[in-house]
């Protein structure tokens, strides 16, 4: 006896792109837990989601450029595919109300009126703040200067594909440190992805400087990288 074919779902009629923040205790939340929180919030907010086809339909929610566990962020992105057309601001308010404290909706736009290209294609760089809370005498400035003067700095990190060795220097577009020991970092998204903690590892291994284990990592912005101009374009900007 042949198995019944699953019901085919109607295609989405609208896609909304959302920028949200991950603050406070939520920075310790994994991407998997964040996605579960978003899915529950979508249900509680009664947003008319489009669903995938197949034997196990699920709401069409797409994530791009998620920050690593332990890092706060002011620039995370998710796209919702809707079965009915809704006002972007109304969906944003409802979702923000339903999300747990620390996940805060910052902006919502209709993808049809925003910058062309897939969301992942529009996230090619990130600007980060690394708060080391060290005094200038503790060597951060000298370590940053030496790092930038080097063409290649290899580090190792365990990934889903096992232990990987990669050049963390190549992804660094700009890096500077202020008198309070705070490092401002502009990173190009690469494969494998270079994270701020990889850069801290590179600084330590190359220069001997010891960054604190409790350094606070915050993604300040994420968008379309112009490497020559050292800028990030807003992925939610109008077409």
Structure tokens that stand for 46 in this block? 């009664």
Instruction: Please name every residue paired with 159 in a beta bridge, in sequence order, or none if there are none.
Output: 162
Rounded mean pLDDT of 35-46?
97
Mean pLDDT of the chain: 92
150-168 pLDDT tens trace: 999 999 988 777 888 999 9
**Is the bond leading into 192 cis (omega within 30 degrees of zero)?**
yes
Is the same domain home to 99 and 140? no
Is the same domain home to 225 and 128? yes
HEC letters along 86-105: CCHHHHHHHHHHHCCCCEEE
Residue 6 lies in a domain: no
Is the same domain home to 110 and 163? no
Rounded mean pLDDT of 103-121?
95
Residue 9 lies in a domain: no
Residue 5 lies in a domain: no
Q: Which structural domain, as residue segments, surrounds residue 86?
A: 14-121
Q: Among 70, 91, 121, where does a domain finish?
A: 121
What is the structure's pLDDT at 138?
Answer: 78
Rounded mean pLDDT of 134-160?
88
- Name the DSSP class of 49: B
Residues in the chain: 239
Can you give the pTM of this predicted structure?
A: 0.91
Instruction: Band the pLDDT of 180: cuts 50, 70, 90.
Output: confident
CB 212 within 8 A of CB 132: yes
Q: Among 99, 121, 143, where does a domain finish?
A: 121
**Structure-model confidence comparison of residues 230 and 136, the more confident one:** 230
Residue 188 lies in a domain: yes
Cα distance between residue 176 and residue 171, in whole Å:
15
Instruction: Band the pLDDT of 1: cuts 50, 70, 90.
Output: very low
pLDDT over 70, % of the chain? 96
43-79 pLDDT tens trace: 999 999 999 887 778 899 999 999 999 999 999 999 9
Q: Among 91, 106, 121, where does a domain finish?
A: 121
Picking from 22-26, 64-68, 136-140, 178-182, which range would have the lowest pLDDT averaged per residue? 136-140
What is the structure's pLDDT at 62?
Answer: 95
Is the same domain home to 188 and 227? yes
What is the structure's pLDDT at 136?
Answer: 66
């Amino acid at each position: 006896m042949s198995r019944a074919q699953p019901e085919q779902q109607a295609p989405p009629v609208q896609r909304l792109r959302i920028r949200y923040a991950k603050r406070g205790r939520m920075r310790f939340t994994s991407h998997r837990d964040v996605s579960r929180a978003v899915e529950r919030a979508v249900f509680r907010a009664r947003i008319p989601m489009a669903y995938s086809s197949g034997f196990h339909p699920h709401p069409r929610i797409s994530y791009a450029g998620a920050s690593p566990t332990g890092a706060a962020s002011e620039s995370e992105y998710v796209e919702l595919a809707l079965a009915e057309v809704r006002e972007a601001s109304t969906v944003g308010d409802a979702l923000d109300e339903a999300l747990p404290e620390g996940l805060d909706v910052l902006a919502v736009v209709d993808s049809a009126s925003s910058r062309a290209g897939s969301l992942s294609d529009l996230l090619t760089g990130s600007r980060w703040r690394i708060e080391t809370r060290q005094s200038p005498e503790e060597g951060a400035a000298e370590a940053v200067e030496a790092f930038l003067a080097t063409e290649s700095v290899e580090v190792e990190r365990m990934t889903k594909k096992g232990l990987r060795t990669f050049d963390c220097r190549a992804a660094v577009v700009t890096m500077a440190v202020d008198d309070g020991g705070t490092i401002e970092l502009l990173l190009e998204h690469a494969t494998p992805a270079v994270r701020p903690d990889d850069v801290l590892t590179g600084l330590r291994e190359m220069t001997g400087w010891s960054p604190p284990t409790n350094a606070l990592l915050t993604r300040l912005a994420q968008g379309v990288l112009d490497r020559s101009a050292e800028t990030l374009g807003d992925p939610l900007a109008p077409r």
